[in-house]
A and B are shown apart, each in its own frame.
Chain A
Amino acid sequence: MDLSISIILVFMIVGAIYSIHAKDLLSAVITCGIVGYGLVICFLLLKAPDLAIVQIVVETINLIIMVAVVLDSSREERYARPDSKGFVSATAVFVMMAVLLYFFYASASPLDKLGTSTLRMAGPYIEGAAAKTGSANLVTGVVFDFRGYDTMGEAVVLVTAVLGVLTILRLKGKK
């Protein structure tokens, strides 16, 4: 399982790097879809069908929004010559990435190996969850019953975001 996930992840990383460096914005946006749809395959391999369904819908909407924005504006990406300021910031970013990777390795080594996870929080959720919530799907049971307030907060965030989008797009720009 580790191997197959890693292969798809390498594919996703290559797609992400190409997407960040693409000359044409439309191809950058569409290559970003590699990462999103690769994630769907990973979710299916990790036995998370609900996540796969949600992710495939969300990724499609995401792509549509981004393609609409790019088609409504310019597709050209202008590259400036790398100057000394850019070189300094690139060096700083690579040093920061190396440091972050080291600390991630240090903090991830005590974690359970992939596939040997133990149920800590979810034990009581699984025992008799079908009888308690009336839902055969445990994820749905957790989302809508045990953690219903989280879901309500999510709905609030969604409504706020939609209101924000409507406000921003309707506003007439000040001259």
Chain B
Amino acid sequence: MTAYILCFILFLVGLYGVVIMRNLVKIAISVSIMEFSTFLFFALLGFIDGGVAPIVNPAEPDKIYVDPLPQALVLTAIVIGLATTALLMAVIIRLYRKYGTFDIREMKNLRG
């Protein structure tokens, strides 16, 4: 239970960064921190005490394996996380070239 709570606190730290920070690179970092905490939560849910990694060894058939399904889902999500981070950084570098700053308060067209 402690691990679950700490995992969610890591998510909240990322959320805090997204909402409070005014620097685009810091916002990108916070988004990836939120992603990481979600991956860890999925991996925690599939863990079984005394289980082994889900790789079948024909010599020892009767083993407890940890749940392979969350691992497969996270494997997909990690790669997609890399793609979104790359896209985010591309947008950020374009904005920097246009406005000359990472500060979102100084980009007048982004004011909402």
Contacts and interface: CB of A to CB of B under 8 A. Distances in A.
Interface in B28-43: 28-30, 32-33, 36, 39-40, 43
Contacts of B107: none
A104 to B, nearest CB: 5
Interface string A135-175: 01111011100010011001001101110110011010100
B40 A54 contact: no
Contact of B4 (A35, A114, A122, A141): A114
B17 A5 contact: no
B32 to A, nearest CB: 7
Given A13-B13, A161-B83, A143 B69 contact: no
Interface string B1-21: 111111111101111110111
Contacts of A10: 6
Interface residues of B, number: 80
Interface residues of A, number: 90
Contacts, number: 249
A61 B47 contact: no
Given A90-B20, A139-B72, A164-B87, A54 B79 contact: yes
Nearest to A173: B98
A126 B36 contact: no
14 contacts: A13-B10, A28-B26, A32-B29, A47-B51, A47-B53, A48-B74, A62-B82, A93-B16, A100-B12, A101-B12, A113-B1, A130-B56, A138-B65, A139-B68
Given A46-B66, A58-B82, A171-B94, 11 more contacts: A5-B44, A58-B81, A90-B20, A115-B47, A117-B46, A137-B56, A139-B72, A142-B71, A150-B73, A154-B80, A165-B90
Contacts of A100: 8, 12, 15
Interface of B: 1-10, 12-17, 19-23, 25-26, 28-30, 32-33, 36, 39-40, 43-49, 51-58, 65-69, 71-76, 78-87, 89-94, 96-98, 101-103, 105
Nearest to B21: A20
B87 A117 contact: no
A51 B78 contact: yes
Interface of A: 1-3, 5-6, 9-10, 12-13, 16-17, 19-20, 25, 28-29, 32, 35-36, 39, 42-43, 46-51, 54-55, 58, 61-62, 65-66, 69-70, 72-74, 77-78, 80, 86, 89-90, 93, 97, 100-101, 104-105, 108-109, 111-117, 119, 121-122, 125-126, 129-130, 136-139, 141-143, 147, 150-151, 154, 157-158, 160-162, 164-165, 168-169, 171, 173
Given A47-B47, A93-B16, A114-B47, A80 B22 contact: yes
